[in-house]
Structure 1
Amino acid sequence: MSIAPKDTDWVSLARKSLKGECLTVEEGIAVLDADNDEVLPLLHAAYLVRRHFYGNKVKLNMIINAKSGLCPEDCGYCSQSIRSSASIPKYSLLDKETLLAGAQEAMARQAGTYCIVASGKGPTNHELEQVIDAVKEIRATLPLKICACLGILKEGQAERLAEAGVHRYNHNLNTSRDNYPSITTTHTYDQRVETVEKARTSGMSPCSGVIIGMGESHQDIVGMAFALRELDADSIPVNFLNAIPGTPMEGVSRTTSMRALKVLALFRLICPSKEIRVAGGREISLRSLQPLALYAANSIFVGDYLTTAGQDITNDHQMIEDLGFEIELNALQGGADRYELDGK
Structure 2
Amino acid sequence: MATENTDVLDRAREQVLERGIGLDEAGVLEILRLPDERVTEALELAHEVRMRWCGPEVEVEGIVSLKTGGCPEDCHFCSQSGLFSSPVRSVWLDIPSLVEAAKQTAATGASEFCIVAAVRGPDAKLMSQMREGVKAIKEAVDINVAASLGMLSQEQVDELVEMGVHRYNHNLETCRTYFPNVVTTHSWEERWGTLKMVRDSGMEVCCGGIIGMGETLEQRAEFAVQLAELDPHEVPLNFLNPRPGTPFGDQPTMDPKDALRAIAAFRLALPKTILRYAGGREITLGDLGTRDGLLGGVNAVIVGNYLTTLGRPASADLQLLQELKMPVKALSATL
- Give the TM bin, normalised by the shorter chain: over 0.9
For 2:326, the aligned partner's letter is: F
Deviation, 1:332, is 6.2
1:138 matches 2:146: no
The equivalences for 1:1-344 within 5 A come to: 5-6=5-6, 9-18=8-17, 19-92=19-92, 94-287=93-286, 288-295=288-295, 296-331=297-332
Rate the CA distance shift 1:2–1:208 in 2: closer, same or farther, 3 A: farther
Q: Is the 8 A contact 2:166 2:203 kept in 1?
A: yes
Deviations 1:261-302 (A, max 9, x none): 111111111111000001110101111311111121100100
4+ residue runs over 6 A deviation: none
Rate the CA distance shift 1:15–1:73 in 2: closer, same or farther, 3 A: same
Deviations 1:56-114 (A, max 9, x none): 2211111101111111101100001123212225313x221111111101101111100
Deviation, 1:160, is 0.5
Q: Which has the higher helix share?
A: 2
Q: Is the 8 A contact 1:277 1:299 kept in 2?
A: yes
Rate the CA distance shift 1:263–1:3 in 2: closer, same or farther, 3 A: farther
SS in 1 for 2:66: strand
For 1:43, the aligned partner's letter is: L
Q: Is the 8 A contact 2:99 2:140 kept in 1?
A: no
Q: Give distance in 2, aligned partners of 1:12 and 1:145.
A: 38
Q: Is the 8 A contact 1:2 1:29 kept in 2?
A: no
For 2:98, the aligned partner's letter is: L
Deviations 1:200-219 (A, max 9, x none): 12221111001001111111
Deviation, 1:31, is 0.4
Q: Give distance in 1, aligned partners of 2:115 and 2:3.
A: 43
SS in 1 for 2:261: helix
Deviation, 1:125, is 1.3
Q: Is the 8 A contact 1:143 1:333 kept in 2?
A: no
Q: Give distance in 1, aligned partners of 2:312 and 2:22.
A: 34
Deviation, 1:140, is 3.2
Deviation, 1:54, is 2.8
Q: Give distance in 1, aligned partners of 2:334 and 2:233.
A: 20
- Is 138-147 or 299-308 further displaced after alignment? 138-147
- Is 295-304 or 10-19 further displaced after alignment? 10-19
For 1:151, the aligned partner's letter is: G
Q: Give distance in 1, aligned partners of 2:284 and 2:31.
A: 18
Rate the CA distance shift 1:80–1:229 in 2: closer, same or farther, 3 A: same
Q: Give distance in 1, aligned partners of 2:260 and 2:215.
A: 16
Deviation, 1:21, is 2.9
Q: Give distance in 1, aligned partners of 2:3 and 2:309.
A: 38
Q: Give distance in 1, aligned partners of 2:77 and 2:83.
A: 10
Aligned residues: 332
For 2:116, the aligned partner's letter is: V
Q: Is the 8 A contact 2:24 2:225 kept in 1?
A: no
Deviation, 1:182, is 0.8
Unaligned runs of 5+ in 2: none
Deviations 1:135-155 (A, max 9, x none): 122223322111100001123
- The percentage of aligned residue pairs carrying the same residue is 36
Rate the CA distance shift 1:22–1:57 in 2: closer, same or farther, 3 A: closer
For 1:170, the aligned partner's letter is: N
Q: Give distance in 1, aligned partners of 2:2 and 2:196.
A: 34
TM-score, length basis structure 1 = 0.92
Q: Is the 8 A contact 1:3 1:30 kept in 2?
A: no
Rate the CA distance shift 1:257–1:104 in 2: closer, same or farther, 3 A: same
Deviation, 1:34, is 0.7
Q: Is the 8 A contact 1:241 1:281 kept in 2?
A: yes
SS in 1 for 2:237: strand
- Is 78-87 or 297-306 further displaced after alignment? 78-87
